[in-house]
Amino acid sequence: MGEFSIFHWLIVLAVVLIFFGGRRIPEVMKGLGEGIRSFKEGMSGAVQAAQATSAQVSAPTGLIAKPGRGQVSLNWNASAGASSYNVKRSGTSGGPYALIASIAATSYSDEGLASGAFYYVVSSASPSGESANSIEVSATPA
């Protein structure tokens, strides 16, 4: 019951021909094809732009967390092209991470922490965008 028979399709075709005429159908199809092509080009351009942005600045390496009394000291290696670094913290492994500092240095001391485990990642930032996150490190303040 849910399928169209050949007679149903012929009626649909007749209605389309009446409303659009025989000459308008190729124009409509051409416009549809151009719209699909434009959409595909736009999507591939957005993906390429995102890849180019992330390729210009790399994620920091060598992230180390040292726990202290009510604090965690973080150190990492500088990334080429980075103008600043975004330090992020989470209470659970894997995030979600909250931005706690945006600094130019390659070290940071997270102070005033309660007891418990904290998880950190750092990303590089430049005028062209932000890198992916570094590897996650964890520390439990004393």
Superfamily, domain 64-139: Immunoglobulins (2.60.40.10)
Residues 6 or more apart whose CB falls under 8 angstroms from that of 132 comprise 54, 59, 123
pLDDT of residue 108 exceeding 80, the answer is yes
pLDDT digits (tens, 9 = 90+) for 45-64: 776 666 655 457 899 999 99
Report DSSP letters for 58-71, one per residue: PPP---EEEEETTE
H/E element, 30? helix 6-56
The model's pTM: 0.60
pLDDT digits (tens, 9 = 90+) for 126-135: 988 899 999 9
More confident residue, 26 or 93: 93
Beta bridge partners of 55: none
